[in-house]
Copies of this chain bind each other. A is one copy, B any other.
Amino acid sequence: MTGASERPVAILAGSGELPGRLAAQLAVQGRAHRVLAFRGFCEPGLARRADERVDLLDVKGALACLERWNPAAVTLAGGLTRPSPAVLAGAFSAFRNREELAAIVTRGDDNLLRGAIDLLERHGHVVIGVRDLAPEILATTGTYGRLEPDAARLRSIALGLRVLEALSPYDVGQAVAVAGEQVLAVEGPEGTDAMLARVRPRRWWGGRRSASDGVLVKAPKLGQDLRVDLPAIGPRTVARAAKAGLAGIAVASRLTLVLNRPATVAAADRAGLFVVGIEADATEYAHV
């Protein structure tokens, strides 16, 4: 996807919008890059345009491709999380013994991705994150659209961040939904969309407030490797949050990705939701 002679950045492209956004951002920057698409994960459009495609988690094929490309750096973009353990087992079995494998596949997301980074680094690659490659995609601090959270919603957001912080050591999820001082849902491996699907609109007393008292809060786990698996929002997140009856979305600024920010903000303004980036320090949410 580039003709430059500098050593490229290799994008290992998983699911979702991020790999394509990242490639576009690197093109804007004029930075040499190549895309290796994981079949079955990578979006079909990008997979067709990609420089190479490998099967699901064909680690051997991916490493051979990277050897040919000799990239300056490798980045893992998009979802590679939660393939079935059987698929993972097939992919990893050439490299790890069964005990190591069992230890990896029965752990949470972080550990899977840490395993992938370890593998790449042991093969001599420099692994970097979207944060370094395309900081333009990171959430900024402050409100993004027309609306902003009031004091009560800011308190709900602070509660949500504390819950995520408390869960950090246990590798659970990166999102919660909170209304008032009540936690409506904690994200598990099902992901944010499925979590939002079970947050039903709630009416508060007197009928004077609408259902929209809740907030979706997203932040990475404390101490997680910020090169991979950053929480992300985009226009679809706004649509799902609106359908769940929430008032807005809060993300940890500099630690969350906002995919297609103009469309995200437009969707939020249309739906009457706020979107806000909260400075980590401001909520005692410290990160490595």
How far, in whole Å, are A84 and B207 apart by their CA atoms in the complex? 11
Chain B residues whose C-beta falls within 8 Å of the C-beta of A186 in the assembled complex: 167, 172-173, 186, 188
Q: Which B residues lie within 8 Å of A172 (CB)?
A: 163, 183, 186
Residues of B within 8 A of A163 (CB): 167, 170, 172
State whether B202 touches A84 (Cβ < 8 A).
yes
Tell me which of B111, B190, B203 contacts A198 (CB under 8 A): B190
Q: Choose from B105, B159, B173, B198 the contact partner of A194 (Cβ within 8 Å).
A: B198
Chain B positions within 8 Å of A71 at CB level: none
B170 touches A204 (CB 8 A): no
What is the bound-complex CA distance between A50 and B206, given in angstroms?
31
Question: Could you tell me which residues of chain A, from 67 to 123, have a CB within 8 Å of some CB in chain B?
Answer: 84-86, 88-89, 98, 101-102, 105-108, 111
Which one of A6-14, A174-182, A276-284 is at the interface? A174-182
Q: What are 11 A-B pairs with beta-carbon distances under 8 A?
A: A84-B202, A86-B207, A89-B206, A102-B205, A105-B205, A106-B179, A170-B183, A171-B181, A171-B183, A185-B190, A186-B188
Interface contacts beyond A162-B170, A198-B198: sample of 18 additional A-B pairs, CB < 8 Å, sorted by A: A86-B206, A86-B207, A98-B205, A105-B205, A106-B179, A106-B182, A106-B204, A107-B180, A107-B181, A163-B167, A166-B166, A167-B186, A171-B181, A171-B183, A183-B189, A186-B188, A188-B198, A190-B198
Say yes or no for A169: interface residue by CB 8 A criterion. yes
A 32-69 to B, binary, CB cutoff 8 A, 1 in contact else 0? 00000000000000000000000000000000000000
Question: A229: CB under 8 A from chain B?
Answer: no
Chain B residues closer than 8 Å to A86, beta-carbon distance: 203-207
